[in-house]
Amino acid sequence: MSGTKLTREALPESDPEDTSEELTEVVCLESDLQDGQMMEVEVGQHSVLLTRSKGQYSAIGNQCTHYGAPLSKGQNSKQQSTIRQEKRVKRMGAAVPGDTNTVLLLGGGAASLICAETLRQENFGGRIIMVTKDDLLPYDKTRLSKVMNVENDSILLRRMEFFQQYDIEVWLRKEAVSVDTDKKKVTFDDGLVESYDQLLISTGCRAKGLDVPGMKLKNVLMLETPEDARHIHKACLGCNVVLVGTSFVGMEVASYLIDKSSSVTVIGSSELPYQNTLGREVGKVTMMMLSEKNVKFFMNDIVMEIKGVDGKVKEVVLKSGNVIQADVLIVGIGIKPNSEFLQGSKIQMDSKNFVTVDKYMRTNVPSVYCGGDLATFPLAMAKNRLVNIGHWQMAQAHARIAALNMLGKPTELSSVPFYWTVLLGKTIRYTGYGEGYTDIVIKGKFEDMKFLVLYIKNEEVIAAASLNYDPAVSAVAERFATGKTITKKEAESDTLSWLQLSQSTLSCAFSLNTSSVQR
């Protein structure tokens, strides 16, 4: 029986100028890899993802481009031809001399970047200007709570050479102060006024502080930038740390600091972490995971006062009367939209000052679009209910849809929410929109740290979360994306045949499909 061979040339990590001897190894038997399957193999000291589709073998790097998770543990839902078409950087054009059409992108996050890339991929030849108040090029903000002692260069999504190559202007340290949609002009904080033909607003949100005495004491910190992340890392070393808030970011920071701080204490206003998003059951598991690492929790409580000595925080006073010693206080209680500059404009916002858009990412004003955390948009899988979802993957979807519609290519937003959080090296994955769920179905056992939770509303699955149960959530996302209903009866069945998963695949560690791949 013949085997499958890989050479060094197939390795994505190979240096094209490497003149060392070619390496060839037998990595498996043909019978070891069936059509549609994937396998992680070793060639030299490289880990490679070997896939087989329609009898053809392909080899790619076995690392998720987002966090380095092993792709071999996922669901292979792409055919080989599709994989070959979707390269890391698609063919892109540049500005065309004499084309004065201008797209102005407010904000320097993932939404603005993907909008700019999509425009150039679709042969837009006009001027593209990306404006950000940050002093950094677009970077991966989701990593700040996971790898806090981070260097700026390591989290950049694209380097300056990329923007220069494709004629994408980037203005750093500049902030919009007003928008005149009648004249199609934006005024910035330095007095500059810039005209636009199409405008994308993706200025995102910022952290919300505590409205209590002592908030301005030293070492009361919030996480918004790489500089903030590094400051928190340094300030917390060997110290007593108190975290206010049990959001995904808050729990990730707590997890990160466990082996760096003297103590970590979490204060939450609800009974359990993630209670309003993932429900009580997942919240209990999260609390248990961190409690076993000596993280202390004060739940159903709020901060009433922050006391300091010599201008620096020393105690946190809770409504319950508990007083917690603190060398550092980290606040992560929510966000505020960066939309003040839109006040007085004709752009419609909701009661919380998020910008309302339609399924084409258009605001109520012609030629003005909005995407990312700032947008309230109709979610197709939730019967077009208007929602605000601050997910990395969703921001990118918004941007692509906005760009296509700017170019007169009518395209509706149909993406399914998909995200994950990492705690103590374990990944909880989530897909769908579970708000208002009335029932849950649980596969596996919480005590075994291996489970799949299916959230039910009106006799249908509307969301799923899992731990060590991959690629089930990915498969659920794909069902959602194709518009297929998962009934409560299917969810309650003894088998998972409706997901087309074998039990042997459920111990996998990462999911890869068309709805979940992130840059």
Each residue's pLDDT tens digit, 315-368: 999 999 999 999 999 999 999 999 999 999 999 999 999 999 999 999 999 999
Cβ count within 10 A of residue 422? 19
Same domain, 228 and 149: no
More confident position, 49 or 90: 90
- 0.75 surpassed by pTM: yes
Among residues 191, 196, 37, the alpha carbon closest in space to that of 130 is found at 196
Among residues 412, 419, 350, the alpha carbon closest in space to that of 387 is found at 350
Cβ count within 10 A of residue 442? 12
Whether residue 5 is predicted with pLDDT greater than 90 in this model: the reply is: no
Domain assignment present for residue 327? The answer is yes
Domain assignment present for residue 78? The answer is no
Cβ count within 10 A of residue 408? 6
Same domain, 446 and 372: no
Q: 50 pLDDT band (50/70/90 cuts)?
A: confident
Domain assignment present for residue 514? The answer is no
Same domain, 236 and 305: yes
**Model confidence pLDDT, tens digit, residues 169-224:** 999 999 999 999 999 999 999 999 999 999 999 999 999 999 999 999 999 999 99
Domain assignment present for residue 391? The answer is yes
Q: Is the dihedral of CA 106, 111, 112, 115 positive or negative?
A: negative
Among residues 54, 51, 53, the alpha carbon closest in space to that of 28 is found at 51
Give the pLDDT of residue 179.
98
Whether residue 39 is predicted with pLDDT greater than 90 in this model: the reply is: no
Last residue of a domain, one of 305, 333, 361: 333
Q: Which domain range does residue 7 map to?
A: 3-62
Among residues 422, 399, 446, the alpha carbon closest in space to that of 509 is found at 422
Domain assignment present for residue 69? The answer is no
Same domain, 106 and 193: yes
Whether residue 399 is predicted with pLDDT greater than 70 in this model: the reply is: yes
Domain assignment present for residue 300? The answer is yes
Q: Tell how strand 439-445 and strand 450-457 pair up.
A: antiparallel
Single-letter amino acid, residue 94: A
Compute CA distances 2 → 27, 55, 80, whole Å: 11, 14, 22
Q: Which two tokens stand for residue 391?
A: 């997910």
Domain assignment present for residue 468? The answer is yes
Q: Check: CB of residue 148 under 8 Å from CB of residue 232.
A: yes
Give the pLDDT of residue 461.
96
Same domain, 114 and 181: yes
Last residue of a domain, one of 406, 427, 446: 406
Q: Calculate what percentage of the chain has a pLDDT beyond 90.
A: 72
Whether residue 27 is predicted with pLDDT greater than 70 in this model: the reply is: no
In the block, residue with structure tokens 């055919």: 79
The strand order across the sheet containing 263-267 reads 220-221, 328-331, 240-244, 263-267, 296-298
Last residue of a domain, one of 333, 351, 370: 333
φ and ψ of 457, to 5 deg: -150, 130
Beta partners for residue 356, in sequence order: 376
Q: Which two tokens stand for residue 432?
A: 């769908």
* Omega within 30 of 0 (cis) for the link into 337: no
Give the pLDDT of residue 66.
41
Number of folded domains in the chain? 4
Compute CA distances 66 → 37, 155, 280, 392, 503, whole Å: 22, 10, 29, 11, 27
Q: Check: CB of residue 215 under 8 Å from CB of residue 209.
A: yes
Among residues 506, 445, 435, the alpha carbon closest in space to that of 279 is found at 435
State how far the Cα of 117 lies from the Cα of 135, in Å rounded to an integer: 20
Q: Which two tokens stand for residue 133?
A: 């108040």
- 119, exposed or middle or buried, with CB in 10 Å at 0-12, 13-18, 19+? buried
| Three-state SS at 428 | strand
**What is the 3 state secondary structure string of 163-225?**
HHHCCEEEECCCCEEEEECCCCEEEECCCCEEECCEEEECCCEEECCCCCCCCCCECEECCCC
Same domain, 480 and 493: yes
State how far the Cα of 519 lies from the Cα of 298, in Å rounded to an integer: 36
**Model confidence pLDDT, tens digit, residues 239-254:** 999 999 999 999 999 9
How does the average pLDDT of the chain come out, rounded? 86
Cβ count within 10 A of residue 489? 9
Q: 41 pLDDT band (50/70/90 cuts)?
A: low
Mean pLDDT of 296-311: 97
Domain assignment present for residue 96? The answer is no
Q: Which two tokens stand for residue 77?
A: 């839902």
Same domain, 316 and 272: yes
Same domain, 344 and 323: no
Same domain, 187 and 111: yes
Same domain, 256 and 159: no
Q: Is the dihedral of CA 156, 160, 163, 166 positive or negative?
A: negative
φ and ψ of 462, to 5 deg: -115, -10
The strand order across the sheet containing 426-432 reads 418-423, 426-432, 460-467, 450-457, 439-445
Q: 60 pLDDT band (50/70/90 cuts)?
A: low
State how far the Cα of 257 lies from the Cα of 423, in Å rounded to an integer: 11
Same domain, 193 and 242: no
Mean pLDDT of 447-452: 91
Give the pLDDT of residue 346.
97
Give the pLDDT of residue 507.
35
CATH number, domain at 108? 3.50.50.60
Q: 25 pLDDT band (50/70/90 cuts)?
A: low
**Model confidence pLDDT, tens digit, residues 64-82:** 444 444 454 455 554 444 4
Same domain, 343 and 201: yes
State how far the Cα of 134 lies from the Cα of 225, in Å rounded to an integer: 9
